[in-house]
Chain A
Amino acid sequence: MSQEIIGSGHTYATITDKISSIVLTRKTPHGWLFGFGVGFVLVMLLLVSITYLFVEGIGIWGVNIPVAWGFAIVNFVWWIGIGHAGTLISAILLLLRQGWRQSINRFAEAMTLFAVACAGLFPVLHLGRPWFAYWLIPYPSTMGIWPQFRSPLVWDVFAVSTYFTVSLLFWFIGLIPDLATLRDRSSSRTGRVVYGILAMGWRGSAIHWHRYEMAYLLLAGLATPLVVSVHTVVSFDFAISILPGWHTTIFPPYFVAGAIYSGFAMVMVLAIPIRAVYGLEDFITMRHLQNMAKVMLATGLIVAYGYLMEHFMSWYSAEKYERFMTLNRWGGPYAPAYWALILINIVIPQALWFRRVRSNVIMLFLVAIAVNVGMWLERFVIVITSLHRDFLPSSWNMYYPTFWDWSTFIGTIGLFLALLFLFIRFLPMISIFEMRTLVPRSEGD
């Protein structure tokens, strides 16, 4: 039973009614109000932090020379990484014909969108003069100057904005048939009008479905190299520079693996409470959680291999700055962050080797939280320990996050939560039409 991807006894009608009732008829649970309330309060904190930042400038953060890339870049990389699991689940697993993706892809895609939105805030806030962010876009201006296309920071602009646009298209295309279902089943006039406009007149014609499936497949094929390229470009921000600890060729593959690792952990953190609150154990079964745990284990090992290779190269290269960088991570002023990273991100997730852990929802939840914390620490170690001790000892300095560093970071977590709760309340969080296609298969089992 636990190995099925959909509970038994479901028909086209029961699936439709169960998923659409969450949006249309069921009473909003108290847990939703609480969760959205927490998110909303933290969004207010974010707005206060951003307002103060705009008034005072980035001096309110702990950043200075040499650590000019503090929390803003740590959080940027962390959020972008979390987004990657959504695309992986919806695109790569579609191409690999993994039927089990179909109950988790919708909210994983939504998670991608919201995570990328949070990520996109940080580089803009970090600009110093955020109101000139549009200078990053190549447009013919009266100033007669252009962005510098040899800079990885400009590549980032294109990578992240393309990623956001394509994720949005992918998510919206997937929603159209379900929006039509909501339009046809909504009992209120507002619902019919709003869902009707969004569904754009979808009527499920066989010929439309034919083109629709082709478009969806092509989008999946396009999103797959895109998702790999995005975190590669993010890692170029570091790897193209000459700083010890950043200037390494292992960064692109290990950033991509780390992104998938943290993204699956975030899907797990969200899926476990949601399925409990909304009683969706029939659709998000133990098989889903176990498969995700296995993906986490595999990508976590790739990340561990990345750490190992970094250390190996700093010894094998016989480069004194590289060697110092590694010794400084082990015993320097930020050593506690490094050892916490190894413990939380590498050692604890090894628990997933055990079937008992993989089949225990609480344990999975705790490991997934640990991975999210660990991956945040990884970016902290990469950004801050590399910057605070560069080539010239006279320029060495420490970085201490301020209240506003923390409040901006926690504020984006609130933004993420608030958007996610709104999504759960107003849109079907599980793809209804894709779940319908699973019906005959599970009946045959």
Chain B
Amino acid sequence: MNKTAPIYGLLAEFEQPEELINAVRRARAAGYRKMDAYTPFPVEHLAEELGFHRTALPVIVLIGGVIGCAGGFFLQYWISVLDYPLNVGSRPFNSWPSFIPVTFELTILCAALSAVLGMLGLNGLPMPYHPLFNSPRFALASRNRFFLCIESGDKQFNRETTAKFLSELKPKGGVSQVEE
């Protein structure tokens, strides 16, 4: 292991989700802030323990839905009333009950697209390269292991003391460096 090359962070590997939650709690108590946990499935309360409470996603989806709804209705109104008014069996040009199905479908479509694109955008995906993938053990994060990574950008980060702190949490899979 090179002792001087810049590193992304230190990675501790656990076997059970409870051990990881416990480790995150202790790391927060010790004052670490720039860190993230990696798990093979969503673990309840883990994001909250990391200090992440609210996501802007519902607001994004609401805005998407409102745009779809208003845009969908206006599309039909503009076509049927303003651009090309056509008398169909003496129905009013603005026959709004007939416009509801398409308005509804476009509401759902825009809301769903904003949910997916919003989630990917906020998560910074697609991200083809990430330093964590340099760690050979990290592939198990998508199988059965639970990881805590304290990043080198943290104010308290120190290669020796942080490594010592992580080993005191007794990670069964050990502690390793993640190269930049």
Contacts and interface: CB of A to CB of B under 8 A. Distances in A.
A37 B97 CA distance: 48
Contacts, number: 188
B119 A215 contact: yes
Contacts of A177: 40-41, 142
Contacts of B36: 205-207
A200 B144 contact: no
B141 to A, nearest CB: 5
Interface string B114-145: 01101110110111111011000011111110
B116 A169 contact: yes
Contact of B40 (A208, A212, A436): A436
Q: State the main secondary structure of chain A at its contact with B.
A: helix
Interface stretch (B26-34, B47-55, B155-163, B164-172): B47-55
B128 A201 contact: yes
A218 B84 contact: no
A222 B52 contact: no
Contacts of A222: 61, 108, 111-112, 115
A12 B46 CA distance: 18
A225 interface: yes
A215 B118 CA distance: 8
Contacts of B116: 169, 172-173, 215, 219
A434 B41 CA distance: 7
B141 A149 contact: no
A203 B143 contact: no
Interface in A185-239: 185, 196-197, 200-215, 218-219, 222-223, 225-226, 229, 233, 236
Contacts of A392: none
Interface in B68-100: 75-76, 79-80, 83-84, 86, 88, 91, 95, 98-99
Interface residues of B, number: 60
Contacts of A436: 40-41, 144
A236 B80 CA distance: 21
B98 A150 contact: yes
Given A158-B102, A181-B142, A222-B108, A206 B119 contact: no
B42 interface: yes
B38 A218 contact: no
Nearest to B119: A215
B55 A185 contact: no
A172 B117 CA distance: 12
Contacts of A229: 101, 104-105, 108
B119 A214 contact: yes
Contacts of B139: 184-185
Given A211-B122, A218-B61, A236-B101, A433 B76 contact: no
Nearest to A226: B108
Contacts of A223: 108, 112
Q: State the main secondary structure of chain B at its contact with A.
A: helix
Contacts of A226: 105, 108
Contacts of A204: 38-40, 141-142
A168 to B, nearest CB: 10
Nearest to A434: B41
Given A13-B144, A226-B108, A149 B98 contact: yes
Given A138-B75, A150-B88, A215-B115, A165 B109 contact: yes
Contacts of B173: none
B62 to A, nearest CB: 10
A177 B142 CA distance: 8
Task: Give 10 closest A-B pairs by Cβ, nearest first.
Answer: A200-B126, A201-B127, A215-B119, A12-B144, A210-B47, A184-B139, A155-B101, A209-B42, A206-B46, A181-B142
Interface of A: 11-13, 16-17, 138, 144-150, 152, 154-155, 158-159, 162, 165-166, 169-170, 172-173, 177, 180-181, 183-185, 196-197, 200-215, 218-219, 222-223, 225-226, 229, 233, 236, 433-434, 436-437
Given A150-B98, A165-B109, 15 more contacts: A12-B143, A144-B84, A146-B79, A147-B79, A155-B101, A177-B41, A177-B142, A201-B126, A202-B142, A206-B38, A211-B122, A214-B58, A218-B111, A218-B115, A219-B116
18 contacts: A16-B144, A17-B143, A149-B80, A149-B99, A158-B102, A169-B115, A170-B112, A173-B119, A184-B141, A196-B128, A201-B125, A201-B128, A202-B125, A204-B141, A209-B42, A211-B55, A225-B104, A225-B108
